[in-house]
Amino acid sequence: MSKIRMSTPLVEMDGDEMTRILWQMIKDQLICPFVDLKTEYFDLGLPERDRTHDQVTIDAAEATKRLGVAVKCATITPNAARMDEYHLHEMWKSPNGTIRALLDGTVFRAPIVVKGIDPYVRTWKKPITIARHAYGDVYKNCELQIPGPGTVELVYTPADGGDEVRATVQEFDQPGIAQGIHNLDASIASFARASFEYALSTGQDIWFAAKDTISKTYDHRFKDIFAEVFEAEYKARFEEAGIEYFYTLIDDAVARVIRSEGGFIWACKNYDGDVMSDMLSTAFGSLAMMTSVLVSPHGYFEYEAAHGTVQRHYYKHLAGEKTSTNPVATIFAWTGALAKRGELDGLDELVAFSRRLEKATIDTIESGVMTGDLATITSLPNPVRADTEEFIAAIAARM
Ligand code: NAP
Ligand code: MG
């Protein structure tokens, strides 16, 4: 059989721990036998990030700007424990945070729905997609530990030499902590546009929620920009498409989501989207069944799994034990990226291959062969609990 050809390479960002193991298996057994895979490879594994002083992450993001489509493996965001474990020079920032800050954009996360894996919430009939703003807020913060009494202020110094603006954050009479965060009107507007476009392209309603009652300037600005963009650019198109946009308080949104049937897009600020997408993916069945794509306003796409590096499984793997780690979201990161590359380059065969691999993956689960995370919750009778190798081999056999 001749392999499917690619023209433009994908940006390939390798990662850490168990997902790094999955990465290689997916390439070797599910992609390379069928596709003449072309990638520009960046090793975002923690040792290489440390060796390059995180330059490799920036290089990978720059390559994404050049080539347009990237696929990323889960990576460790270092904390104090990782400093010791990997003898790091520095507590490097989250690679996802760095990449998102460079590409801007919105992250769309949607659960992969399969027969036999029923959502915990009984009313949910359709997937719920989270549109997560991927720029700013606490992910690009400036933090201070306050050692003792003193004043913390916000100071704005206009670049054109105008009057300084100051606001007191807190007069500290004891030790504490302080944080400065920001966002940009242009980034919020492109978040709104990306979300509205996605709603139109998928024919789903869209909700946006923030905490404007408490954050009367910051969150309120998000609410206003969404309203302005909607009124000026999308109102008529939404009416025509028979879909709806509405704003509500984040607390109200959470309550409504649980009572809903699903089948809509929930636009979230950066932190809300981070947390709520984990809640949704677990509630839809498994963290390992959630896809994630960063869509930048400049037309760049970065595909990844929503879950982390599955550290607990990796330590078992290192100890020589079999693991039953679910590779589905990582497979869908690859198929998402390959299909987008195919679409942009006019390679129908590459798009068709991606859809076939997705179908083979879903069919394998629906036939009753699945990893442990799914086997424990499935409503299918007599599921076969496969280890990681067996599950990938079952998909390969189907391919
Ligand atoms: P995690 O890797 O998502 O795993 C948390 C738990 O969820 C696992 O222990 C496992 O539960 C279950 N799980 C997640 N993915 C699974 C899969 N594919 N198959 C089966 N079970 C799965 O989160 P974490 O343990 O909090 O974080 C580990 C590392 O990942 C951290 O260093 C963190 O910085 C990083 N991280 C990276 C990203 C990213 O790159 N996008 C995102 C999140 C976290 P059981 O142990 O019960 O089996
Ligand atoms: Mg999260």
Mutate to test the pocket of ligand 1, among 50, 99, 310 (most ligand atoms within 8 A of CB): 310
State if residue 307 touches ligand 1 by the CB under 6 angstroms criterion.
Answer: yes
307 CA distance to ligand 1 middle (Å): 5
Mutate to test the pocket of ligand 1, among 88, 287, 289 (most ligand atoms within 8 A of CB): 287
Confidence grade of residue 54 (pLDDT, cut at 50, 70, 90): very high
Question: Cβ distance 286 to 373 under 8 Å?
Answer: yes
Flag whether pLDDT at 355 surpasses 80: yes
Confidence grade of residue 278 (pLDDT, cut at 50, 70, 90): confident
Given this model, what pLDDT does residue 299 score? Answer: 80
Flag whether pLDDT at 166 surpasses 80: yes
Q: Which of 32, 114, 24 is nearest to 371 (CA)?
A: 114
| pLDDT tens-place string over residues 61-89 | 999 999 999 999 999 999 999 999 999 99
State if residue 99 touches ligand 1 by the CB under 6 angstroms criterion.
Answer: no
139 CA distance to ligand 1 middle (Å): 19
Confidence grade of residue 170 (pLDDT, cut at 50, 70, 90): very high
Q: Quote the CA–CA distance of 369 and 371 in Å, as a whole number.
A: 7
Q: Which ligand is nearest to the CA of 277?
A: 2
Flag whether pLDDT at 103 surpasses 90: no
Beta strands in the chain (DSSP E): 10-14, 39-43, 69-72, 106-111, 129-133, 142-146, 150-156, 165-172, 176-180, 205-210, 245-249, 264-268, 290-295, 301-305, 369-370, 384-385
Burial class of residue 242, CB neighbours in 10 A (0-12, 13-18, 19+): exposed
- Cα distance between the two ends of the chain: 13
**What DSSP string runs through 114-159?**
-TT---SSTT--S--EEEEE-SSGGGG-EEEEE-SSEEEEEEE--T
State if residue 373 touches ligand 1 by the CB under 6 angstroms criterion.
Answer: yes
Flag whether pLDDT at 186 surpasses 90: yes
282 CA distance to ligand 2 middle (Å): 11
Q: Atom 43 of ligand 1 has which residue's CA nearest to it?
A: 308
Mean pLDDT of the chain, nearest integer: 95
Question: With pLDDT > 70 as the criterion, what percentage of the chain qualifies?
Answer: 100
Mutate to test the pocket of ligand 1, among 17, 25, 309 (most ligand atoms within 8 A of CB): 309
| pLDDT tens-place string over residues 90-100 | 999 999 989 98
Range 327-341 average pLDDT: 97
Range 4-18 average pLDDT: 98
| pLDDT tens-place string over residues 106-127 | 889 999 989 999 888 989 989 9
